[in-house]
Amino acid sequence: MARPSATPPVHAKLGYKAADDLLLHLPIHYEDETRLSRIADLAPGRSALLEGVVERAEVLYRPRRQLLVSLREAGTEAPFHFRMLNFYPNQLAQLRPGVRLRLYGDLRPGFFGAEMIHPRWRMVAEHAPLAGALTPVYPTVAGLAQARIRKAVEAVLATADLDETLPDPLRARLGLPGFADALRRLHAPGPEDDVAGLERRSHPAWRRMKFDELLAQQLSLRLYAGQRRRRQAPVLAEAGLAERLLANLPFPLTGAQSRVLAEIRADLARPYPMHRLLQGDVGSGKTCVAALAALVAVGSGRQTAVMAPTEILAEQLYLKFREWLVPLGIEVVWLAAALKGKARQASLAALADGRAAVAVGTHALFQDEVAFRDLALAIVDEQHRFGVEQRLALRAKGADAAVVPHLLMMSATPIPRSLAMSYFADLDVSVIDALPPGRKPIATRVVGEAKRAEVVARLRDYCAAGAQAYWVCPLVEESEKLDLKAAIDAHAELAAELPELRVGLVHGRLKADQKAAVMAEFKAGGLDILVATTVIEVGVDVANASLMVIEHAERMGLAQLHQLRGRVGRGGRESTCLLLYAEPLSETARRRLRIVKDSQDGFAIAREDLALRGPGEFLGARQSGAPLLRFADLEADLDLLEAARSAAERLLHDDAAAARRHLARWLPHGFDWLHA
Ligand SMILES: Nc1ncnc2c1ncn2[C@@H]1O[C@H](COP(=O)(O)OP(=O)(O)OP(=O)(O)O)[C@@H](O)[C@H]1O
C-alpha cells in the first residue's frame, strides 16, 4: 500500500529544507555488525553482534509481563538469553525453536547469566553474510526510525554531487581527506576504520567536515565584508569638537584609549559603514571613547544615536554624555518607553528637526515614530543583549536609505578572539586593554551565608567611615518578580538592622524617574547603602562606592560577577567585594567563585565562563535561535578556525568558483542571522 502522501519526507521530519541537506546529517555513533562476537569473549557492557539458535521463548508474568528467549550459540553448552519488555504477538510467533537469530545490543549480567535486554534482532539463514560497513546511528526525532534515515541518506549519497571544493595543496597541508571520501567514511565506515576517532569526532574525516563548515562561515563573512564596502556611509572627519572635549576632560586618555579612538576615527572617515566592536573591561573608559566618536559625527553636522539594552544602563550613558557634551553646547535628548506625553514629543521633535545632535535611550530609539534628520552613527552598548532585528532596525534609521549609518558596538563582556572571529559578520574589533591609572585592585572574598551577621557588621563600619556600599540581590533568571521580592526583602532587613544608615533600593520595576532619583541620591552621597537587583550590572559609576556585597553569588555567571564587582574600585579608596553564597556549595560552584576571587582580568574570567557555560551567554545566540556552528567547536578547533580564516582569503582570490560551490554546499539556504 502506498504511504499516505501527508507523511513528510525524512529530511523535513529532521527539520531540513531539502533532501540534499541529509548529506551533512552525520551519525552520532556506530554499531558494528561487520563481525560476529562469541559470548565467551565479551565483557559485559559492550555492544556486539551475536548469533544463536532459539531454544525456547516464553512469556513470564513476574516481576512484570515480559518475553524471555533462550538461545544457544554454536558449539556452546549453556544457553544465553534476551528479554523484551514490550513485544507483539507476531514476534512471539516468529521465535520458534530452531530459528536462527542475529542480535545486536549490550550484554549484561542477568539472573540466568549473560543477557541482552531489547536487542535489535532479526532472523537469518546459516552463514548469512555480515555487513560490509559499520551501521550509523543518526540523531533523530520521535517516530522516525533509524532504518528510514539510513535509507534516505544512502539515496542522497548515491545521487548528490560530492565534488571537491578544496585545492589539493591546501588539503595536503592540513592533512584532510577529500570531501567525498570523508563523507562516505562518516556515513559508512569500514571495519578497518578508527571508530573511536569517528565517535570522538577527532578522525580526519570529522576534521574535514569541521574545516569545511568554518571555511564556509569565513567565506560568507568575507563576502559580506565586500558588500559592506560597496555600501555608502557619511564621511565623518571633523574632529574639532572631539578635540575640545579632550581638552576639557580632567584626565588624559590612556594609550589604549587613544589607539582605539584613532581606529574608530579612521573608520568614520571612510565612505562605507564602520562595523566595529569596542571591547574593554569594566571601567576601562569605553564610554569616554564613544562620546569622542559621537563628537566627530556631531562636528560633521550629523546625528548620533546611543542605545543600551536596559533603562538603567541607558540612563547612565545619558548622564555621562550630558556631562561631556552639554558644556560644548550640544543638545542630548533622552528616549525610553517610559518617556510619555510632552517630554516625548519634545525629544522626537528635536531629533526630527536636527536640533538634538545626540539621542540616548533604550529599544524605544528604533520605534517607527522615531525619525532622525541625519543619523550618521549608531552606538550600541552591550550589543549581545539585543536581538538581531533590533540591531538592524537602528541601522535602517538613516534618513537616506542608500546611506547606512556607521555602527559602533561596545561590550564590557570580553569576547574571546575565537568567538569574535567566527561569530560576528566581518567585525573589526578594538580592545581597550589597560585601565586608567590609579585604579586599585578590588579585594574579593568568598563568604558563606552563615556569616551574614558579620558581613552586616562590616558594612556598618565601612559606612561609618564615610564609604558607600552596594548590596546586590540574587538573579533569579526566570522571574523578574522573584528578583524584585528578594531585593525588597533585603532592603527591609538591612534598613531594620542598620537604622543609623540610609538604605536605598533600586530595581527594574521602578519608573525611570524614580530610578534616576535613587541613583542620583546615591551618587550625591545621600544614601549609604544601595540595595539593587542586577540592573546595576554595567555602566553605573559612583566613585565613592567601595564595598559591594553580592548575595547568592553562586547563581551568577562569572563574567557577570566581574562586571558587578567593577562598580566599585573607581575612587581613591581600597575596595572590597564580598561574594555571599548559600550552602551547600558544590565543588564546581566553589571553583567558579574562586576564579573571580583570584583574577581581576575580565578576559581570563570570560574564558573560564565560556568553558563553563558555552558561547550562547556571550553572543545572545539564544535570541537568534540559530546554533552557532553544527560541527566545529570554537575552543577545541581553534587551529582549524585559523586555517579556515586564511584559506578563505586565498580561495576567494584563486578560485572564486570553488568558493561559491563551497558556500552553496554549506550554506545553501543563506545564513542571514550571521550577517547582522
Ligand atoms: N583616561 C582616563 N583616566 C582617568 N579616568 C578615566 C579615563 N577614562 C575614563 N575615565 C573615568 O573612568 C570611569 C569609567 O569610564 P567610562 O565610563 O568611559 O568607562 P566604561 O568602560 O564605559 O565603563 P563601564 O564599565 O562603567 O561601562 C569614568 O568615571 C571616567 O570618567
Tell the CATH topology of 240-432: Rossmann fold (3.40.50)
> What is the pTM (predicted TM-score) of this model?
0.68
Which CA distances in Å does 485 have to 262, 306, 356, 492, 611?
A: 46, 32, 39, 11, 32
Confidence of residue 619 (pLDDT cuts 50, 70, 90): very low
Atom of ligand 1 nearest to the CA of 289: 18
What does the mean pLDDT of the chain come to? 85
Which residue reads 586618555 in cell numbers? 253
Which residue reads 541518506 in cell numbers? 153
Atom of ligand 1 nearest to the CA of 284: 21
Q: Ligand 1: distance of its center to the CA of 181 in Å?
A: 55
Spans of all domains in the chain: 10-28+138-200, 36-129, 240-432, 442-599
Tell the CATH topology of 442-599: Rossmann fold (3.40.50)
Q: Which three cell numbers stand for residue 251?
A: 584626565
Instruction: Give the SS3 label for residue 245.
Output: helix
Given ligand 1 and candidates 288, 439, 535, 563, which is best to mutate, with the most ligand atoms within 8 Å of its CB? 288
Do 215 and 647 touch, CB atoms closer than 8 A? yes
Residue nearest to atom 16 of ligand 1 (CA): 285
Fold match flag (240-432 vs 442-599): yes
Out of 142-146, 179-183, 414-418, 618-622, which region has the weakest mean confidence (pLDDT)?
618-622
Q: pLDDT digits over 400-413, tens only? A: 667 789 999 888 77
Taking alpha carbons only, the member of 198, 209, 210 closest to residue 422 is 210
User: In angstroms, how far is CA 272 from the centroid of its own chain?
Assistant: 29
Q: Which three cell numbers stand for residue 538?
A: 554595567
Residue 594 has pLDDT above 70, yes or no: yes
State mean pLDDT over 450-460: 93
State mean pLDDT over 277-302: 93
Given ligand 1 and candidates 287, 380, 413, 430, which is best to mutate, with the most ligand atoms within 8 Å of its CB? 287
Q: Which three cell numbers stand for residue 284?
A: 576601562
Q: Ligand 1: distance of its center to the CA of 547 in Å?
A: 19
Residue nearest to atom 3 of ligand 1 (CA): 436
Q: pLDDT digits over 456-485, tens only? A: 999 999 999 989 999 998 755 555 566 677
Distance CA 252, CA 236 (A): 23
The pLDDT of residue 482 is 64
Taking alpha carbons only, the member of 334, 263, 330 closest to residue 301 is 330
The pLDDT of residue 625 is 34
Residue 151 has pLDDT above 90, yes or no: yes
Instruction: Give the SS3 label for residue 591.
Output: helix
Distance CA 601, CA 617 (A): 18
Q: Ligand 1: distance of its center to the CA of 241 in Å?
A: 19
Domain 36-129 annotated CATH 3.90.1150.10: no
Distance CA 96, CA 394 (A): 72
Highest mean pLDDT among 240-244, 566-570, 622-626: 240-244
Atom of ligand 1 nearest to the CA of 282: 25
Atom of ligand 1 nearest to the CA of 541: 26
State mean pLDDT over 257-275: 95
Atom of ligand 1 nearest to the CA of 249: 31
Residue 254 has pLDDT above 90, yes or no: yes
State mean pLDDT over 623-642: 68
Atom of ligand 1 nearest to the CA of 290: 18
Q: Ligand 1: distance of its center to the CA of 634 in Å?
A: 32
The pLDDT of residue 57 is 93
Look at 267 and 561; give whichever has higher pLDDT: 267
Residue 531 has pLDDT above 90, yes or no: yes
Residue 392 has pLDDT above 60, yes or no: no
Look at 62 and 249; give whichever has higher pLDDT: 249
Do 249 and 242 touch, CB atoms closer than 8 A? no
What is the 3-state secondary structure of 351-415? HHCCCCCEEEECHHHHCCCCCCCCEEEEEEECHHHCCHHHHHHHHCCCCCCCECCEEEEEECCCC
Atom of ligand 1 nearest to the CA of 563: 25
Q: Ligand 1: distance of its center to the CA of 327 in Å?
A: 18
Do 39 and 107 touch, CB atoms closer than 8 A? yes
Could you give the residue ranges of the DSSP H alpha helices within 70-141? Answer: 89-94
Secondary structure element (H or E) that encloses residue 66, with its range = strand 66-72
Confidence of residue 556 (pLDDT cuts 50, 70, 90): confident
Confidence of residue 420 (pLDDT cuts 50, 70, 90): low
Q: Ligand 1: distance of its center to the CA of 570 in Å?
A: 9
The phi and psi torsions of 401 (rounded to 5 degrees) equal: -60, -25
Taking alpha carbons only, the member of 615, 526, 602, 505 closest to residue 563 is 602
Give the chain's radius of gyration (CA, Å): 32
Q: Ligand 1: distance of its center to the CA of 391 in Å?
A: 25
Q: Ligand 1: distance of its center to the CA of 619 in Å?
A: 24
What ipTM does this complex have? 0.97
Ligand 1: list residues with CB < 6 Å. 251, 253-254, 257, 280, 282-288, 320, 412, 436, 538-539, 541, 566
The pLDDT of residue 664 is 87
Taking alpha carbons only, the member of 27, 194, 42, 32 closest to residue 104 is 32
Q: What is the length of the chain? A: 676
Distance CA 605, CA 561 (A): 10
Residue 99 has pLDDT above 90, yes or no: yes
Look at 200 and 539; give whichever has higher pLDDT: 200
Q: Ligand 1: distance of its center to the CA of 616 in Å?
A: 28
Confidence of residue 623 (pLDDT cuts 50, 70, 90): very low
Atom of ligand 1 nearest to the CA of 283: 23
